Amino acid sequence: MTSILTNNSAMAALQTLRSVNNNLSDTQSAVSSGLRVGKAADNAAYWSIATTMKSDNSALSAVSDALGMGAAKVDTAYTAVQSSIDVVSEIKAKLVAATEDGVDKAKINDEIKQLQQQLKSISASASFNGENWVSNAEAKTMSVVSSFIRTAGGVSVSTSGYSAQADDLLFSDTASGILDRTGTASNAAIAEFSIATTDTKGTIDQLITDTESALKSMTSLGSKLGSLQKGIDLQTDFVSKLSDSINSGVGRLVDANMEEESSKLSALQTQQQLAVQSLSIANSSSQNILSLFR
């Protein structure tokens, strides 16, 4: 039966055209954005996971920046310790020279005083972003942000570092650092002692003993800082790889397969043309009724 009020063929063709247009719109959106899941309506589960992981990746980016800041602090401290070791080694050489008969101890003392001033200058300038890890501080924990962790119980930020006592520092406010504390043999600090023309070899030997002890302590401090440097380097590399892995995982969830979307786009455009033709045919069929009344 043909009806002029109800055109079932046209309605079917129209529904087909609407469906094709909707699919075509989704495909065009995927092609233009590169995402097959661009909003929650596309796939609520994947969208939720991807949104959370993108947020975590932003936090990892901040961790990477913090690691860079921490590395700069540790590098500054290590450089100060290494430079101080070189200067104290030079002081030790001057003291050995002072044990020789006939040397001008006054001139050697002048040279040592210059080296001592250099030690103070190195330690005082070993500051990065207002933090000095080798001077002018009491016992404290040297730490840097190392990772961002998500667990079932929530999120947390971990740090790495070491606890430094006052005697681990080169200089401290209480004069108990490696270079400003009183030596056990000479009863004088490495950064403060003087030698006189009347000092005996035995007296100078005591200063050499305390200098050796200071070098040993500075070497230990340098080892701690070196271990921390290594840990920061490893953590920086891990954070970088972890960020890449998260990006890759998120991409697998939400990125569009461009080869597939391109094929779908061509097919849907063809279907759209056919659906328009089908609707046109269905609409024109009602015109054929007029021939019955001629």
What pLDDT shows up at residue 12?
Answer: 80
Tokens for 278, please give them.
Answer: 């089908």
What pLDDT shows up at residue 6?
Answer: 62
Global confidence as pTM: 0.75
Read off the pLDDT band of 227 (50, 70, 90).
confident
Which residue intervals of 99-190 are DSSP H helices? Answer: 105-125
Question: What's the pLDDT tens digit per position in 15-65?
Answer: 887 887 887 777 777 777 778 888 888 889 999 999 988 888 888 888 888
CA distance 240 to 59: 12
Domain boundaries, the chain: 8-34+256-293, 45-254
4 pLDDT above the threshold of 70: no
What pLDDT shows up at residue 268?
Answer: 77
Is 148 in contact with 59 (CB distance < 8 Å)? Answer: yes
Question: What's the pLDDT tens digit per position in 127-186?
Answer: 988 888 898 766 567 777 777 777 766 677 777 777 777 788 999 888 889 999 999 999
Residue 38: in which H helix or E strand, if any? none
What pLDDT shows up at residue 286?
Answer: 66
Read off the pLDDT band of 292 (50, 70, 90).
low
Lowest mean pLDDT among 128-137, 211-220, 243-252: 128-137
Give the architecture-level CATH label for domain 45-254: Up-down Bundle (1.20)
Residue 141 burial (C-beta neighbours within 10 Å; 0-12, 13-18, 19+): exposed
Read off the pLDDT band of 294 (50, 70, 90).
low
Chain-wide mean pLDDT for the chain?
A: 85
Residue 160 burial (C-beta neighbours within 10 Å; 0-12, 13-18, 19+): middle
1 pLDDT above the threshold of 60: no
Question: What's the pLDDT tens digit per position in 82-134?
Answer: 999 999 999 999 999 999 988 999 999 999 999 999 999 999 999 988 888 89
